[in-house]
Amino acid sequence: MKRILVGIKRVVDYNVRIRVRPDGSGVVTDGVKMSINPFDEIALEEALRIKERGGAEEVVVATVGPADCQQQLRTALAMGADRALHVQADGVLEPLTVARALLQLIEREQPLLVILGKQAIDDDNGQTGQVLAALWNRPQATYASKLELTGETARVTREVDAGLETLEIDLPAVITTDLRLNEPRYVKLPDIMKAKKKPLDTFTLAALGVEPRQQLKLVRFEPPPQRQKGIRVKDAAELVDALKKKGLL
Amino acid sequence: MSAKILIVAEHDGKKLNPSTAKCVTCARTLAGAQVTVAVLAAEAAPVASQAAQLSGVDRVVTVENPANLHALAAVLAPQVVALAAPFDIVLGPSTTFGKDLMARVAGLLEAPQVSDIMAIESAGRFRRPIYAGNAILTVEKAGEGKVVGTVRIASFEAAASGNSAAPIEKSTVSVTLPTHTRFISVSAAKSDRPDLQTAARVVSGGRALGSADGFKILYSLADRMGAAVGASRAAVDAGYAPNEMQVGQTGKIISPELYVAVGISGAIQHLTGIKDARTIVAINKDGEAPIFEVADFGLVGDLFQIIPEIERLIS
Ligand SMILES: Cc1cc2nc3c(=O)[nH]c(=O)nc-3n(C[C@H](O)[C@H](O)[C@H](O)COP(=O)(O)OP(=O)(O)OC[C@H]3O[C@@H](n4cnc5c(N)ncnc54)[C@H](O)[C@@H]3O)c2cc1C
Ligand SMILES: Cc1cc2nc3c(=O)[nH]c(=O)nc-3n(C[C@H](O)[C@H](O)[C@H](O)COP(=O)(O)OP(=O)(O)OC[C@H]3O[C@@H](n4cnc5c(N)ncnc54)[C@H](O)[C@@H]3O)c2cc1C
């Protein structure tokens, strides 16, 4: 079966104002709104569109994390994914651990394509897709803004610093999404009900033979330095004067 | 013990990208570090000699292979891994080149990666921004073994290009390179304006510009100021500006002397990209816009009147 595997990470919603705990042990997450990482919504949307065009038969979403992550898997099912896989894991999960777990799921599911986000907006690591592609020994096309499947290969347009780069890669492969790949659909109420009946399988890391390793200790969290409050100028002339005085014009 | 640091050079086959000189400065903040720059290219000589002149570089190694003509992470990563054996820290810039490549290197090495390093506190201890820069995290390597890192280039000045030159050594690595990833093309709008990532002055426009045509008043002002032009995500999404102009959490992180935000509201994802700008100017018709909270100089008003007026005043 032609299958697409999509990574779903539960993160603090992008609208939440992040506050560092006073003791420096982390950021405040109690009672904070959690959502699917925006790049993962884009990944799922792309998978669904490929399926709707007949390029795939099944879209499977997967997450690695604590029990709460099932909320985001249900949302993904409501968006249109066919099945969900939850690898239960607590504590700090580094990209290598997540990638190892995803690799085990790949071995079970044999997907044609794996689509992840280019970065998770909480840790901003931007590593998991590349680490997974390395462990799997398959191609990676990161920062995708356009994706065309042509049988055994894919053409991917990537947003790079210079502009847009196009690669051709053999399948199976790992793609990571950029913002302009698509605009994710909204979830409709009846679909939320339907999603409750869709299959959601759970695994433990141990059952997959993955031992979580923490190779980086999180020593301290701090708020960023604040900028000094500036001044208001009344018109363009005053602005130009002020900038000239500072030698900026 | 002095740390051995390998820096993977970013280049276009002819010129060394300034991001590499910033990685050298980052590496040099670690006392006694021995810094080697690796140049992987089809023909390495021109780039290698530029790298060798950077002050703070002890040695340059080159790996020449026709497959290295275009920087493909899947092709470069096994070669970097082959070079990495004697090193403690392997660094690349936190640009799309470096972010794509270094995490693949980390995966092959099964080593931890520290993304967006803003400070090296010791050979195993680093500081980096998370949550779009709303928190700064200090991480420390837990075990033995290497650390891979990407360097947040806005946090470091470029190492100077001196007159002395470090030795250049040719290296041959015997690894089979994958053929599953093939370069097709790259399209980059050519412009005579300064490069956004290294420009001293940047003028950026947001959704308020209203169209690609609307951006013309910014190009005109920028040319008058010798500035690069940036954009918010909203402006890029709407097609007013190309993707390579996006500034922010998921675009470019920049540190110009002067940043002029025009018709940009100041969402946290945008502000992440300009935290290191020396002076920020905000021009917005809404006096309550969050951009004013970070602006050194704020001007409330209609950009379509203000921008041409500024241009007149400075010409
Ligand atoms: C505050 C904090 C700071 C941390 N800092 C570091 C650090 O500096 N270095 C480090 O190695 N680890 C760090 N960790 C570990 C961390 O828990 C990350 O979850 C893990 O490193 C994955 O990285 P990321 O989420 O940034 O993924 P990225 O690599 O940015 O994620 C890219 C994509 O991978 C997929 N993906 C990522 N995680 C999952 C998942 N759990 N399930 C399904 N798909 C997933 C998603 O598609 C996502 O869009 C930190 C953890 C916390 C809580
Ligand atoms: C995962 C994720 C990643 C993101 N990454 C980025 C990123 O990298 N970079 C980024 O920029 N955004 C990013 N965003 C989007 C960000 O949240 C904002 O939506 C975006 O920055 C808004 O762009 P804007 O300020 O141009 O538009 P708006 O918020 O619409 O602001 C337009 C401003 O123009 C002003 N204005 C209107 N008319 C005039 C006039 N005539 N004269 C003067 N002022 C006027 C208005 O008062 C308003 O303040 C991201 C969002 C998400 C969810």
**Low-confidence spans in chain B with pLDDT less than 70:** 1
Cα torsion through A75, A80, A82, A87, rounded to 10: -30
Q: Which stretches within B15-164 are classed as H helix? A: 18-28, 45-52, 73-84, 96-109
Which tokens go with B153? Answer: 């280039």
List B127's β-bridge partners, or say none.
B119, B138
Given the CA of residue A128, which atom of ligand 1 is nearest to it? 29
Sign (positive/negative) of CA torsion A136, B75, B248, A229? positive
Question: What 3-state class would DSSP assign to A150?
Answer: strand
For residue range A43-87, list pLDDT tens digits in order: 999 999 999 999 999 999 999 999 999 999 999 999 999 999 999
Q: What is the pLDDT of residue B1?
A: 64
C-alpha B141 – ligand 1 centre gap (Å): 16
Q: Is A207 in contact with B273 (CB distance < 8 Å)? A: no
Sign (positive/negative) of CA torsion B143, B147, B151, B152? negative
Q: What is the pLDDT of residue B231?
A: 98
Q: Is B186 in contact with B97 (CB distance < 8 Å)? A: no
B279: nearest CB among A170, A222, A246? A246
Measured CA to CA, the distance from residue A220 to residue B140 in angstroms comes to 10
Closest-CA residue to A86 (of A105, A100, A110, A99)? A105
Between B96-109 and A128-136, two packed helices, what is the crossing angle to 10 degrees? 50
Task: Please give, rounded to a whole number of angstroms, the shortest distance from the CA of B163 to a CA of chain A.
Answer: 30
C-alpha B29 – ligand 1 centre gap (Å): 27
Q: What is the pLDDT of residue B108?
A: 98
Q: What is the pLDDT of residue B93?
A: 97
Q: Ligand 1 pocket, A66 CB below 6 A?
A: no
Inter-chain touch B107–A130, beta carbons under 8 Å: yes
Between B303-314 and A236-245, two packed helices, what is the crossing angle to 10 degrees? 50
Q: What is the pLDDT of residue A228?
A: 85
- Domain range list for chain B: 4-170, 201-313
B139: nearest CB among A143, A219, A228? A219
- Domain range list for chain A: 3-245
Q: What is the pLDDT of residue B150?
A: 98
Inter-chain touch A168–B184, beta carbons under 8 Å: yes
Mean pLDDT per 10-residue segment, chain A (249 residues): 96 93 93 96 98 97 97 98 97 96 98 97 94 98 96 96 96 97 94 96 96 94 90 97 94
For residue A220, list chain B residues with Cβ-Cβ distance below 8 A: 137-138
A130 in contact with B, Cβ within 8 Å: yes
Task: Please give, rounded to a whole number of angstroms, the shortest distance from the CA of B110 to a CA of chain A.
Answer: 7
> What average pLDDT is seen over chain B?
96
CATH architecture, domain B201-313:
3-Layer(aba) Sandwich (3.40)
Q: Is B87 in contact with A117 (CB distance < 8 Å)? A: no
- Name B238's Cβ contacts closer than 8 Å, sequence gap at least 6: B207
For residue A141, list chain B residues with Cβ-Cβ distance below 8 A: 181
Number of the ligand closest to the Cα of B205: 2
Inter-chain touch A248–B138, beta carbons under 8 Å: no
Report which protein residue has its CA nearest ligand 2's atom 9: B248
Question: What 3-state class would DSSP assign to A132?
Answer: helix
A3-245 to CATH, choices 3.20.20.70, 3.40.50.620, 1.10.3720.10, 3.40.50.2000: 3.40.50.620
Q: What is the pLDDT of residue B188?
A: 77
- Domain B4-170 falls under CATH 3.90.1150.10: no
Q: Ligand 1 pocket, A157 CB below 6 A?
A: no
C-alpha A120 – ligand 1 centre gap (Å): 6
Q: Which residue of A has its CA nearest to B306?
A: A236
